[in-house]
Amino acid sequence: MVSADFRIAHASMARRVTGNLQRSLAELEQLQEQISSNRQINRPSDSPVGTVAALRLRAELGRGDQIGRNIDDAIAWLSTADDTLVSVVDQITRVRDLAIQAQNGVLGQTERDAIALEMDQIREGLVGLANTRYLDRAVFAGTASTAAYDATGSYTGQSAIIERAIGPGIRVQINVNGDDVFGSGATDLFATVANLATAVRTNTNIDAEFANLDVRTNAVQQSLAEVGARMNRITTMQERNRAGSINLKQNLSQIEDVDLPKAIMEMRIQETAYQAALMTTSMVIQPSLVDFLR
């Protein structure tokens, strides 16, 4: 009877000790896995609450990355338009200088023809600038896939607003329609330069055509100012998006990444405890009669 009680107590103690050793070994393996992966959450069961928070942060990071790509695209579009309009202003300034030069009464027909010829060349260059492309799309053509202007300087685009989302609920126009910048029809910039060249050749109506050029110049400069304002707004949103992304990554790191020095120290402690438990168990659980009968 005593022997039976002893066998039951011995088996119960063995099960408890084995269970404790298994739990200790599992904790040790978990620490080793965290150190090797540098993550304290390797599966949802490691931390259900942390997993939910990490998924939410990763979703926000994904939205931020998409907004970042939208912003980069918007800046590229507007930068292309800005550079082009600066070049257009430079060319218009040259036309103005030539028109002022042509008003000199001492110039002969040969000199006026040379000035008019240069104006014609500038006009062709302006048409080329108006057809500037970004990612194989005409910047000033709206939603049209073709060029904004044909060889004659006629507008062939399809004016529309192209927007990009640069923040939650924030959209901004990234395109500039050619008819808003250069005009369309008989009063557009290209027709104005051509008419001014004709006026210089014939030495008539130069002042009137010069005034028309001023109107078109103001329109180009206004568009340039609008592009600059949009660029400033988008750049500000870009900085905010980058700062938000950094904060989200820091928060995600606090949830998912392991504190390596702390984990190594805990693993060392757990290893020592496990080895001590093994040694203690080997001393406490002595061989039974059954062991000798095998």
Q: Where are the domains of the chain?
A: 2-39+259-293, 69-253
Residues 148, 156 contacting (CB under 8 angstroms): yes
- 192-202 average pLDDT score: 94
What are the CA-CA distances from residue 167 to residues 55, 121, 247, 251 (Å)? 20, 44, 16, 20
Reported as half-sphere exposure (CB side, CA atoms, 13 A), residue 47 has a value of: 18
Whether the pLDDT of residue 170 is over 90: the answer is yes
- 172-177 average pLDDT score: 94
Q: For residue range 112-125, what is the model confidence (pLDDT) as tens digits?
A: 999 999 999 999 99
Q: For residue range 221-248, what is the model confidence (pLDDT) as tens digits?
A: 999 999 999 999 999 999 999 999 999 9
H or E stretch including 166? strand 163-167
Stated pTM of the model:
0.74
Whether the pLDDT of residue 33 is over 80: the answer is no
- 84-109 average pLDDT score: 91
- The residue with tokens 């702390």 is 262
Question: What is the CATH code for 69-253?
Answer: 1.20.1330.10
